Chains A and B, each alone.
Chain A
Amino acid sequence: MIQRLEGLNQNALRELDAIKDTPTLEQWRIRYLGRKSELTGMLRGLADLPLEERKNAGAFANRIKAGLESAFEQKNGALKAESQSQVLRTGEAEAAHGDITLPGRPCPSGRLHPIMETYREICDIFVSLGFQIVESNDVELDYYNFEALNIPAEHPARDSMSTFWVDYENDRGERTMLLRTHTTCVSARVIHTMKPPIRVIAPGHVFRYEATDATHLPMFNQVDGLAVDKGITMADLKGVFYEFARRFYGPERRVRFRCDYFPFVEPGVEVAVECAVCHGGGCRLCGSSGWIEIAGAGMTHPKVLERGGIDPNEYTSFAFGIGVDRIPMLRYGIDDMRLFFGNDLRFLKQF
């Protein structure tokens, strides 16, 4: 028994010494240490031996098993190390006549449109301030675009919002559908349909009947906002815009609130941020004023609330409209708006 074990041990160690790869090593392990190996069989056969012999042979067999196991681990470690250094040697050999500066395998990389991304950035900030995104129709009723916003027929403000009309007349021969000239009509709809408290923003296309040039397109982009609640003040409007500007333009940029006129707000505000190029000193970009207009805003006109069924004596409200297109124009120095809808990849791929 002991002799058999001794012979087994020597054969095993001799064979192990000659092994040069992991699969052969695994075969060796199965042959000498596996569940069906001779050694395991012999260990199992110990039970048949007389007690005294069993004791000696058992101890010897276990010693041999432990020895073989440790030899296996050692060999296994050596083979792994050898294989790793082999990989490194191959790499070095390749590098000798390879060129790691060759271009990598192209991985498709798509991009989103700069206008759509600007929408996203603006909306994300207002959503985090508790505003809900509301989308509505581009084709709108005359009523929501004008009357509901305190712009009756013949109001001079209609002149500055030259309108595309849909080719449709009602029974009385009136044109009632138009392409919305501002997203403020979404706020008008919200006032008519939702109950306060309200905090919404409405991103979307708007349309003006204007000849196309570098700074005018018949279709452009706005985000309108509206908050209605008891106790909302112009100080809140200011706070919301300071916060928006701080996050969007960074904490260093100053914000200016000045009086302006829009028929659907009173008091009215124009919100501007300090010009990033001249920091208020005046340059070509900001038209020498030092300020870049970012939004028209104000406290929603009592008549606008009233018309939508909200009592202006109980509730106050602010509203604002942000021009979207100018933001990427100023940020990236784009001097021609038409590029946004030209869809030339040489332009779009840059964003």
Chain B
Amino acid sequence: MKVSYNWLKQYVDVKLPAQEIADRLTMAGLEVKGSQTIGGDWEGIVIGQMIAVDKHHNADRLSLVTIDLGGEKQETVVCGAPNCAAGIKVAFAPVGSTLINPHTNQPEKLKPAKIRGVVSAGMACSEKELGVSENHEGILVLPPDAPIGKPLNEYLGDTIFNFEVTPNRPDCLSIIGLAREIAVLTGTNLHLPDLIYPESDRSITQDATVEILDPDLCPRYCASLITGVKIAESPEWLKKWLLSYGMRPINNIVDITNFVMLEWGQPLHAFDFTKLTGRGIVVRRARREEKITSLDGVERQLARDMLVIADKEQAVAVAGIMGGANSEVSDDTTSILLESASFKPTSVHYTGRILGMPSEACVRFERSLSPELTIPALKRATKLIAELGGGQAAKGIIDVYPGKQERKSVRITTAETKRVLGVEFTVDEVAATLNSLGFECQPNVSTGSVIAKAPYWRSDISIPVDLVEEVARVRSYDRIPTTLLAEPIPKHDPAPITGFKRKMRQALAGYGFQEIASYSMVGMDSLTRLSPQSKKPQPLPVRISNPMTIDQEYLRPTLRGNLLAALSVNRAFLEDGLRLFEAGKVYLPKDADLPDEPDMLCGAIAGRRGERWWQGDGEPVDFFDAKGIVEGLLAQFNTTARFDPANDESLHPARQAAVTIGGKQVGVVGELHPAVAGHFELPGGVYLFELNLPALVLHTGFMMYQPIPKFPATIRDIALVVDVTVPHQKIVDIVRAVSLVIDVSLFDVYAGEQVPAGKKSLAYRLTFQSPNRTLTDEEVNRVQQQILNRLVAEVDASLRG
């Protein structure tokens, strides 16, 4: 909300610099999000009066103007503005002052100038040159009462604060509300406008009626009647304040309702009384199929639960949202029925949303405005209409108030201030603070308590801690000391996944992987690309009912799509090898319940094994790079996995493996299916691995120290010839099942001329060791023979050469 400091000063005797006010309000909860200084650069510019306007002897369109600057001082300037006229008051800028250049919009120093032979001592400024508006049609004409010789800064200078009012303080969506805060925070006096006006002899109830049919949506409806009104332009002062807020003046009646809304925070509505059928107001829910034409001429369909203001026949306004064209104040209006009412915030909020008509009134009604606010606002506006519109106010007002509620008192103790804030405020401090805010207080020093009743405009106070905040914010949060939690640290039971995820990520960075981060929301398109046949995933992922874009319609059931997209974005770097991973949640739908959100780790490698280098480039990566990374990661957590054939449709059918630990699959590794690679515009040779971290973490963390062997190991190399279909893992399983074998490692694989067709040779290094003795050659020979026997029996192996 943009508010002029000058306007605020009409209500509160404050002389502090604008920045100081902004700081104090900000600290106390009313944030000033920037401010705009008007006239800060008007050094030397003063108010002058044009006393003579003569034609320039060398140019038809220029005038020679004599300006009276007061105190016998006069200057002559050359002026080209069409609205130059003797008698008007203007802003005179002498040579050397700084003005906005209207062509470049940049501030410039006014240089001495000779215009067509005549020396100009300065100039009369336009609004644009002064930086107050974009208007450069003519010079700024000041009101006739502007004091000659006074610096313009003192007369027109202002600061416009941009307040960010929090939702709990609807009272501060008004000049008076803000002025009240300033008065409290600076210890100065608040002046409220006079609300007394002369009334006619004829009571309003003789001419108008108000009936509330739906009091649940309208706790209070007040109205006044003013007759003999003349619609006209508003006076300058009124227009000035509206303009300072950014509102365009329209006519005196509309301007007054707007002005009072800004001043008090209570929206008002003026009806042309003669256009109300039956001369009465009925507040009711809209009828079935009811329509209303708004002021912009658009016919709007109303819903049954919207509240309307109607006359005896039809809706004439939508409560709190907009007026109807049928009862609009026009140039020939003479009788005004002025509405000041209280509507249920949620109803106004809902109706405003449906009709799509945000307005200043709507913004205020949506917050809980006090029904008590209707009366002062109504009286203030009635008084202004009578004064400025030349009308006569009827006697009394109509006040229908079915929703009246007693304001409750809240008790606060000094002990409570200490309990919440860590510093105790005295009864005197509490009572004085609350009093200054308009609370009615009953302090009791002996019990250390204050019973406080909030003023009507504070709808946000209901429990003791609300009062604690009031005291703390007015007395400043700086009063609160700084302590570090003194209580013992609670017992903790951290989830193992948190630390595990972090270590995994660090390990991958150590392997040269770049971590990426991506949106949890994905498009169906990105998911179907993961299928070689572009099938939709089954089951369908969690859908968002109001996505921003179709690219963000689903919650990702896999990290793969985003990771491959990132790989694709960076494919220019493939030559140097790409290694990317993401660790994050996937979302797996569950019936009628929150989805499962396991943390997954997905990595991809592509291109070369290393960056290009001057002594030769790295080889392209292959399946065993990816598998080796997975094995390395698992080894860091003292666990090993089995790699069994798998059938993941995104991967190459023959080059993929399920990662299995303890009989449970915890991940997969493999080459990206060429069709899928194509969908992501990636070349072949992309390898992917994916690990389910919560499943994996179950197999980590527990580790017992193994003593360093005391007795020497015996090492034997054997080369086996087996059928090409026999997997290495099978041989390892057989060998490891034999006691005294502590390690078996493959060091060569060969198929070719040296072995028969359909066979391959596998060379292993076996390590034999006993924890309690040195093995003899004979013992090792015996075990080795045992191994060979089993290999012959189970995989038809033979020893090579």
Binding site for B on A (CB under 8 A): 102-103, 105-113, 115-116, 120, 129-130, 132-135, 137-141, 154-157, 160, 164-168, 170, 175, 177, 179, 196-199, 205, 207, 209-212, 218-219, 227, 229-236, 238-240, 242-243, 256-261, 263, 266-270, 287-289, 299, 301-302, 316, 340-345, 348-349
- Knowing A110-B510, A177-B594 touch, does A259 contact B27 (C-beta < 8 A)? yes
Q: CB < 8 Å: which of B489, B519, B597 contacts A341? A: B519
CB of A295, distance to nearest CB on chain B (Å): 14
Q: Which A residues are in CB contact (< 8 Å) with B552?
A: 218
CB of A154, distance to nearest CB on chain B (Å): 4
Q: How far is the CA of A236 from the CA of B517 in the complex (A)?
A: 35
Q: Which A residues are in CB contact (< 8 Å) with B486?
A: 231, 236
Q: Which residue of A lies closest to B573 (CB)?
A: A345
Q: Mark B463-478, 1 if CB is under 8 A from A, else 0.
A: 1011011001100011
Q: How far is the CA of A141 from the CA of B543 in the complex (A)?
A: 15
Q: Is the CB of A299 within 8 A of B420?
A: yes
Q: Is the CB of A137 within 8 A of B480?
A: no
Residue B645, interface by CB 8 Å = no
Q: Which A residues are in CB contact (< 8 Å) with B419?
A: 233, 316
CB of B358, distance to nearest CB on chain A (Å): 11
Q: How far is the CA of A196 from the CA of B491 in the complex (A)?
A: 10
Q: Which residue of B lies closest to A133 (CB)?
A: B498
Binding site for A on B (CB under 8 A): 26-29, 31, 33-34, 166-169, 345-346, 349-350, 366-367, 418-423, 463, 465-466, 468-469, 472-473, 477-478, 480-490, 492-495, 497-498, 502, 505-506, 508-521, 542-548, 552, 555, 565-566, 569-570, 573, 577, 579-580, 585, 587, 592, 594-595, 597, 610-611, 613-615
Q: Is the CB of B547 within 8 A of A164?
A: yes
18 A-B pairs (CB sep. < 8 Å): A108-B577, A111-B514, A120-B502, A129-B484, A139-B542, A140-B594, A167-B543, A168-B545, A179-B555, A199-B489, A233-B418, A235-B421, A258-B26, A261-B167, A266-B468, A267-B469, A289-B33, A341-B519
Q: Is the CB of A135 within 8 A of B498?
A: yes
Q: How far is the CA of A162 from the CA of B393 in the complex (A)?
A: 46
Q: How far is the CA of A134 from the CA of B493 in the complex (A)?
A: 10
Q: Which A residues are in CB contact (< 8 Å) with B546?
A: 164-165, 209
Q: Which A residues are in CB contact (< 8 Å) with B519?
A: 218-219, 341
Q: Which B residues are in CB contact (< 8 Å) with A139?
A: 542, 555, 587, 594-595, 597
Q: How far is the CA of A212 from the CA of B569 in the complex (A)?
A: 20
CB of B87, distance to nearest CB on chain A (Å): 42
Q: How far is the CA of A170 from the CA of B592 in the complex (A)?
A: 8
User: 17 more A-B contacts (CB under 8 A) besides A106-B610, A219-B519, A236-B486?
Assistant: A102-B614, A115-B517, A120-B502, A140-B594, A154-B346, A177-B594, A179-B544, A205-B585, A207-B520, A219-B520, A234-B420, A234-B422, A238-B482, A257-B477, A258-B29, A259-B477, A270-B31
- Knowing A137-B597, A138-B520, A344-B570 touch, does A108 contact B542 (C-beta < 8 A)? no
Q: CB < 8 Å: which of B33, B345, B480, B565 contacts A154? A: B345
Q: Is the CB of B422 within 8 A of A165?
A: no
Q: How far is the CA of A133 from the CA of B350 in the complex (A)?
A: 39
Q: Which A residues are in CB contact (< 8 Å) with B508?
A: 110
- Which residue, B422, B423, B481, B486, has most C-beta atoms of chain A within 10 A? B422
Q: How far is the CA of A316 from the CA of B468 in the complex (A)?
A: 14
Q: Which B residues are in CB contact (< 8 Å) with A175?
A: 545
- Knowing A105-B615, A106-B611, A235-B423 touch, does A260 contact B29 (C-beta < 8 A)? yes
Q: Is the CB of A108 within 8 A of B610?
A: yes
Q: Is the CB of B480 within 8 A of A235?
A: yes
CB of A66, distance to nearest CB on chain B (Å): 35
Q: Which B residues are in CB contact (< 8 Å) with A179?
A: 520, 544, 555
Q: Is the CB of A348 within 8 A of B516?
A: yes
Q: Which A residues are in CB contact (< 8 Å) with B510?
A: 110
CB of B508, distance to nearest CB on chain A (Å): 6
Q: Is the CB of B477 within 8 A of A258?
A: yes
Q: Which A residues are in CB contact (< 8 Å) with B587?
A: 138-139
- Knowing A113-B515, A230-B487 touch, does A302 contact B594 (C-beta < 8 A)? no
Q: Which A residues are in CB contact (< 8 Å) with B555?
A: 138-139, 166, 179
Q: How far is the CA of A167 from the CA of B363 in the complex (A)?
A: 30
Q: CB < 8 Å: which of B492, B498, B544 contacts A166? A: B544
Q: Which B residues are in CB contact (< 8 Å) with A266?
A: 463, 465-466, 468-469
CB of A289, distance to nearest CB on chain B (Å): 7
Q: Is the CB of A227 within 8 A of B485?
A: yes
CB of B160, distance to nearest CB on chain A (Å): 14
Q: Which B residues are in CB contact (< 8 Å) with A157?
A: 167
Q: Is the CB of B29 within 8 A of A261?
A: yes
Q: Which residue of A lies closest to B577 (CB)?
A: A108
Q: Is the CB of A233 within 8 A of B420?
A: yes
Q: Which B residues are in CB contact (< 8 Å) with A263?
A: 168
Q: Which B residues are in CB contact (< 8 Å) with A257?
A: 477-478, 480
Q: Is the CB of A112 within 8 A of B569?
A: no
- Which residue, B488, B566, B614, has most C-beta atoms of chain A within 10 A? B566
CB of A189, distance to nearest CB on chain B (Å): 11
Q: Is the CB of B490 within 8 A of A199?
A: yes
CB of A282, distance to nearest CB on chain B (Å): 10
Q: How far is the CA of A323 from the CA of B752 in the complex (A)?
A: 63
Q: Is the CB of A130 within 8 A of B489?
A: yes
Q: Which B residues are in CB contact (< 8 Å) with A288?
A: 34
- Knowing A112-B505, A229-B487, A261-B167 touch, does A344 contact B569 (C-beta < 8 A)? yes
Q: Is the CB of B509 within 8 A of A111?
A: yes
Q: Which residue of A lies closest to B562 (CB)?
A: A343
Q: How far is the CA of A348 from the CA of B168 in the complex (A)?
A: 42
Q: Which residue of B lies closest to A114 (CB)?
A: B517
Q: Which A residues are in CB contact (< 8 Å) with B489?
A: 130, 199
Q: Which A residues are in CB contact (< 8 Å) with B518?
A: 341, 343
Q: How far is the CA of A108 from the CA of B569 in the complex (A)?
A: 20
Q: Is the CB of A238 within 8 A of B481?
A: yes
Q: How far is the CA of A50 from the CA of B477 in the complex (A)?
A: 108
Q: CB < 8 Å: which of A209, A267, A348 contacts B548? A: A209
Q: Which B residues are in CB contact (< 8 Å) with A231?
A: 486-487
Q: Which residue of B lies closest to A156 (CB)?
A: B167
Q: Which B residues are in CB contact (< 8 Å) with A140?
A: 594
Q: Which B residues are in CB contact (< 8 Å) with A110?
A: 508-515, 579
CB of A222, distance to nearest CB on chain B (Å): 14
Q: How far is the CA of A116 from the CA of B583 in the complex (A)?
A: 10
- Knowing A113-B517, A166-B544, A267-B473 touch, does A239 contact B421 (C-beta < 8 A)? no
Q: How far is the CA of A197 from the CA of B31 in the complex (A)?
A: 34
- Knowing A140-B594, A267-B473 touch, does A116 contact B515 (C-beta < 8 A)? yes
